[in-house]
Chain A
Amino acid sequence: MFDLTGKNALITGASGGIGGAIAKALHGAGATVALSGTRVDPLEALAAELGERAHVLPCNLSDGEAVDALPKQAIEAMGSVDILVNNAGITRDQIFMRMSDEEWDSVINVNLTSTMRLCRGVMRPMMKSRWGRIINISSIVGATGNPGQVNYAASKAGMVGMTKSIAYEVASRGITANCVAPGFIATAMTDKLTDDQKDKINVQIPAARMGEANEIAAAVLYLASPEAGYTTGATLHVNGGMAML
């Protein structure tokens, strides 16, 4: 349905479950993809699986200089960055009273500051080409809060405010900026939960199941498409009805 032939996409956190699914969806729609992440092996494996039109650009998002260099590397590899998907994120869960500055800073730095840096890095060429798609992967907890995730929830809510402000500034230049906010998605992380734990989660979800990574990827694919040109500053909640926002 959506055709991204000729478009170049940079995806962070592409070594993870959701990031990999996003990369596959955009690539499947015809885009050339640059896969970024910290773990090189899964990135190489994904690139090999995709075949042509796939580049591997490892990057440690806690390193500001490396983050600033990433858009340039992606432009060198692909010729442009038309679609930026900020998907990478970390958690350092801790009850608030015990949360250290380091736990706070590291999550804000990787999830929010690196997202800002990458958005800034692609803005100039997107402005010139009068076309761009920025898709930031937020989270349901950015809207609802979650005990033990003060830092993570703040970073994901911060992403929403940032994305809306960017959307305002560049809407007249053919650039859209949106968020996708996943609920509980089945990934390597949730595989570790016991059946009992999973059951407890599922009763809170009207759809009565966890989401699939490709259901997040489908939302990203829509927002990346030419058809989504009038959708900007939005947060698309993909959570099985867990929070109807």
Chain B
Amino acid sequence: MSDVADRVKKIVVEHLGVEEDKVTESASFIDDLGADSLDTVELVMAFEEEFGIEIPDDAAETIQTFGDAVKFITEAS
């Protein structure tokens, strides 16, 4: 697994308090990992901080799964 994926996973595990093996490529933050809409905003804020990037609101809305987040951040950073 890439360095980006490891760092994203760490944030997700810490923030949502889920088991690491639940955070799979296709895991949806809301449907599978128990996030509410405010959690997803906070995850995006945490990604921005960790990777020093800016994720605009319209892009943030497309980040639904762990895989989406890794893909977006890999492309952006």
The chain A residues found within 8 Å of chain B, CB to CB, are 124, 127-128, 169-170, 172-173
Task: Tell me which residues across on chain A come within 8 A of B45, comparing CB atoms.
Answer: 124, 127-128
Whether a CB of chain A sits under 8 angstroms from the CB of B38 is: yes
List, in ascending order, chain A residues with CB within 8 A of B38's CB: 127, 169-170, 172-173
Interface string of B38-55 (1 = CB under 8 A from A): 100110010000000000
Query: What 7 additional pairs, Cβ within 8 angstroms, besides A124-B45, A127-B41, A128-B45?
Result: A127-B38, A127-B42, A127-B45, A169-B38, A170-B38, A172-B38, A173-B38
Q: How far is the CA of A127 from the CA of B38 in the complex (A)?
A: 10
| Docked CA distance A43–B45 (Å) | 35
Contacts of A127 in B (CB 8 A): 38, 41-42, 45
Give the contacts of B22-77 with A (CB-CB under 8 A): 38, 41-42, 45
Measured CA separation A170–B41 after assembly (Å): 12
For the complex, what is the distance from the CA of A182 to the CA of B10, rounded to whole Å? 48
A175 CB to closest chain B CB (Å) equals 11
A173 vs B37: C-alpha distance in the bound complex, in angstroms? 13
CB distance from B35 to the nearest CB of A (A): 12
**B residues near A170, Cβ cutoff 8 Å:** 38
A-B contact pairs, 10 of them (CB 8 A): A124-B45, A127-B38, A127-B41, A127-B42, A127-B45, A128-B45, A169-B38, A170-B38, A172-B38, A173-B38
**Residues of B with C-beta under 8 A to A172:** 38
Q: Please, which residue of chain B has its CB at the minimum distance from the CB of A128?
A: B45
The 6 lowest CB-CB distance pairs between A and B, nearest first, are A127-B42, A169-B38, A124-B45, A128-B45, A127-B45, A173-B38
A169 to B40 CA separation, bound complex (whole angstroms)? 13
Measured between beta carbons, the chain A residues less than 8 angstroms from B41 are 127
Q: How far is the CA of A175 from the CA of B14 in the complex (A)?
A: 21
Report Cα–Cα, A64/B45, bound state, in Å: 24
Question: Which residues on B sit within 8 Å (CB–CB) of A173?
Answer: 38
In the complex, residue of chain A having the shortest beta-carbon distance to the beta carbon of B42: A127
Contacts of B42 in A (CB 8 A): 127
Nearest A residue (CB) for B39: A172
B43 to chain A, nearest CB (A): 12
Minimum Cβ distance to chain B for residue A97 (Å): 41
Distance, CA A230 to CA B42, complexed state (A): 22
Bound state CA distance, A169 and B42, in angstroms? 13
> Smallest CB-CB separation from B38: which chain A residue?
A169
Nearest opposing residue in chain B for A173, CB measure? B38
- Give Cα A124 to B46, complex, Å: 11
Q: Which residue of A lies closest to B36 (CB)?
A: A172
Q: Which residues of B contact A124 (CB under 8 A)?
A: 45
Whole-angstrom distance between the Cβ of A214 and the nearest chain B Cβ: 36
